[in-house]
Each structure stands twice: as structure tokens, then as C-alpha cells.
Amino acid sequence: MNSAVGYLVVYFIVIGGVILVGFFLHLKKSKVSGIRQRIRLDEITVLIPFRSEEKRLGDLLKSILNSNHLPKRFIFIDDHSEDESVKLIENELGNLPFEILRLPSDVSGKKRALRDAINICETKYILTWDADVSFNSNYFESIELLEEADMYVLPAVLIGNATSELFYELDFALANALNAGLSGWSRPIFSSGANFLFNRVAFHKVDDLESHAHMASGDDTYLLRDFRNNKKDIRLESNLNVAITTETPHTFKEFIDQRLRWVGKTTDIGDSLATLSATGQFAFAIGFFGLLIYFLVSSNWVPAAVLFSVKIGLDLVFFFPYFNRINRLKTWCLIPIYELLFPLYSLLLGILMISYRPKWKGRAIQSNKS
């Protein structure tokens, strides 16, 4: 029983401090100070790379058409699409301030696509989206309430429709809750290119593409690293008014492929804070299930029940404020089930990392470094 109590005390202090206290520190940081100027829409160019997204562009185009205000312009970057994506964009957006940039035959991939587009931009800020996102009609009005900074990690909320997809959504939301907590204490450890705002001049000063050109995905997190290494002003927002939503993966294979891509780029970046966070999570998970199995095997039912129920209860409390802020309490309720599945999920990822290499947009994730 003493070992269970000791574990729970340490868990309460460490995880409660990082997730719960860190989240409220993040909210405090997010408050407008009134000292700096606010971001203006006529200083924003939105970049949307796409590759054969005809069936997934509908929500994005509808959101743009329903927006109360618009930025300076939109640039859609066509990465050699093989469907009618271009025609769909042109037909739907009509006379709105947009253009389509087609990549040359010898250029491909999201990273090159974004840089080709940034090179023709003149606005102070660049906002990147994925082609399958949607957002509220007051999104751009809310962007104008943000104070000027070098970079904003803006919220991306994954929405699951089928029951299994709710667990994919939960996995991503838990990671975002951790990211918000860490940003409250120190800084975010990852970002999403689906909703990413940064200063164009600062980008040109810090961009280190050659260090990660061998990775097909992950431009967002690598760029976050470059801004961080150059001590730029990086802020994280969790306000739903500046959030985009997108669907979760629809199959277990898609989900695992996505997570392996994220793990791969996180490992490649070598962020000490991200590594410490992952190591801490793994250690607490091993400690929890190790103690639980020990109590069950030795028929110590009371300590097992106390450990399990208190641990789950603490997690529900720690993560509630973040899930409430993103309005996903239905998903939050699945945390107890998720925690029972987490060891198997982590073991599977560990095994697949050894030999399995997922592809992204039909291309290998990682090429040999030159």
C-alpha cells in the first residue's frame, strides 16, 4: 500500500504540476497585454499546400467563403495533383483574393512547396493550413486580437466520428494538453502546420531546411525548433476562436502511420524537453502498470483498487480544463479506457519503429541524408 501511495503522491506533484498548473500558466501568458500592436489581416498571406485533395477540400473552401473577414490573400500550392483539385478551387473561390502556384516538375513535397510560396510573399505574416481543415466564420477577426509575435502555435482540433476515431482524437488532444502545459512553464515542444502563424522576415533569418530536408514531413516542428534555437518570441494559443478542425485518421493503419511520422520527426529533432517529457510519461506508465500487476498477482485487491481509481481520477481532473476549453468533454470521458489500452499501443509503436517505414502522400517519410 505504501508503494501505491508513494507513486500517487509523486504523480500528483509532477503530472498535476505540468498539466494542470501549466495550463493555467499558459492561459495567463495568453492574455493580451496591450503593450504590443495587434496583428492585421492585411499583413497575412495564407498558404495551403495540397496534393490530389479534391475530395477533402470542400470544408476548407466553404469556411473561406463563410468568413466574415479575409486576409491579404490565399496561395494554394499544387504539389503535382492528379485530380481536379485546381479546378474545384478556381470554381468555388471565384473573385476572392487567391492564386494557385504550381510546383515545377523538379520540385515536390510540402517543405519545398511552402518555401516556393513564401518566396513570393510580401506580407509581414505567413499563416499555413492543411487542405482538409475548417474553421469558424469569426476566425480571422479573432486572429486580429492577437498581439504581434514571431510565431504562434495555433490550435488544431481533430474530430473523430466513429467510436474508434474518438480514441484517435483523444490521443492527439492529450498530447496538445501536455503541449499547453509545457508552454505555460516554458515553451511548446511541437506545432501543427495545419494552423501555424509566423513572421516572414524571421522565417528567412532562421530557416534551416537543409538540416531536415531528408524528412518528407514535419516542417512545422522543425521550424518551431529553428525559431526556438534563435530565441524568437514563440506563443501558443488554445482559444477555439482561432482553432481549425480536421478529421482524425479513419483507419487504425492511418492512425499508426501518423503517429510513427510524429515520433520519427520528434526523435530526429532531438529536443531535450520533448525527450524528457516522453521519458517521464513512459516511466509513469511503466510504474503504474508494474504496481498494478504486482498487486493483482499477489491478491492485494485494496491497493490495486486504490491505485487504479485514484490514478484515473487524477487524470480526469488534470486534463479537464484543457478538454473543456476545446469543447471535447465527450472525448475526455474516454480517458479511463484509453489508459488501459495505452501499454499495448505504446508496445506496438515501439515494435513498428524498428522496421516499419510509413509513407506520406505516397512518398517515403525519410530519405538518406547526404
Domains and CATH numbers, the chain: 2-23+273-363 (no CATH), 35-176+189-250 (3.90.550.10)
Q: What is the pLDDT of residue 244?
A: 97
Instruction: Kindly report which listed range (231-235, 273-277, 346-350) carries the lowest average pLDDT score.
Output: 346-350
Cβ–Cβ < 8 Å for 45, 125: yes
Tell me how far CA of residue 36 lies from CA of 32, 33, 39, 124, in angstroms.
Answer: 9, 7, 9, 15
Long-range contacts of 225-230 (CB under 8 A, 24+ apart): 225/269, 225/271, 227/150, 227/151, 227/198, 227/202, 228/187, 230/202, 230/205, 230/206
- For the chain, the average pLDDT equals 88
Residue 193's pLDDT is 86
The per-residue pLDDT for 137 is: 96
CA dist 346 and 287 (Å) reads: 14
- Cα separation, 146 vs 242, in Å, equals 10
Confidence of residue 265 (pLDDT cuts 50, 70, 90): low
Cell of 105: 516538375
pLDDT at position 347 over 90:
no
Average pLDDT over residues 7-14: 94
Alpha-carbon distance of 263 to 260, in angstroms, equals 5
Say how far apart CA 218 and CA 33 lie, in whole Å: 32
**Above 50 in pLDDT, residue 363?**
no
Angle 234-238-240 from CA coordinates, rounded to 5°: 135
Pair 181, 26: CB distance under 8 Å:
yes
Please report the sign of the dihedral spanned by the C-alpha atoms of residue 18, residue 346, residue 225, residue 248.
negative
| Mean pLDDT confidence for 18-34 | 91
Res. 215 pLDDT band, cuts 50 70 90:
low
pTM listed for this prediction? 0.87
Give helix 301-325 / helix 163-185 axis angle, nearest 10°.
80
Question: pLDDT tier at 370 (50, 70, 90 boundaries)?
Answer: very low
For residue 369, what pLDDT is reported?
A: 46
CA 319 – CA 16 distance, rounded (Å): 9
Report CA torsion sign: 21, 26, 31, 36.
positive
- State pLDDT tens for residues 152-198: 999 999 999 888 899 999 999 999 999 999 999 999 999 988 999 99
Phi and psi, residue 117, nearest 5°: -75, -40
The region of weakest confidence among 114-123, 150-159, 177-186, 336-345 is 336-345
Which of 144-148, 217-221, 336-340 shows the lowest mean pLDDT across its residues? 217-221
Alpha helices in 122-251 (DSSP H): 139-143, 163-185, 200-206, 219-229
Please say if the pLDDT value at position 217 is more than 80: no
Which amino acid does the sequence have at 56? R
Cβ neighbours of 244 (radius 10 Å): 23
For Cα atoms 283, 177, 345, give the angle at the middle one, nearest 5 degrees. 50
Per-residue pLDDT band at 358 (split at 50, 70, 90): low
* pLDDT tens-digit map of 57-93: 999 999 999 999 999 999 999 988 889 999 999 999 9
pLDDT category of residue 357 using cuts at 50, 70 and 90 = low
d(CA 154, CA 192): 8
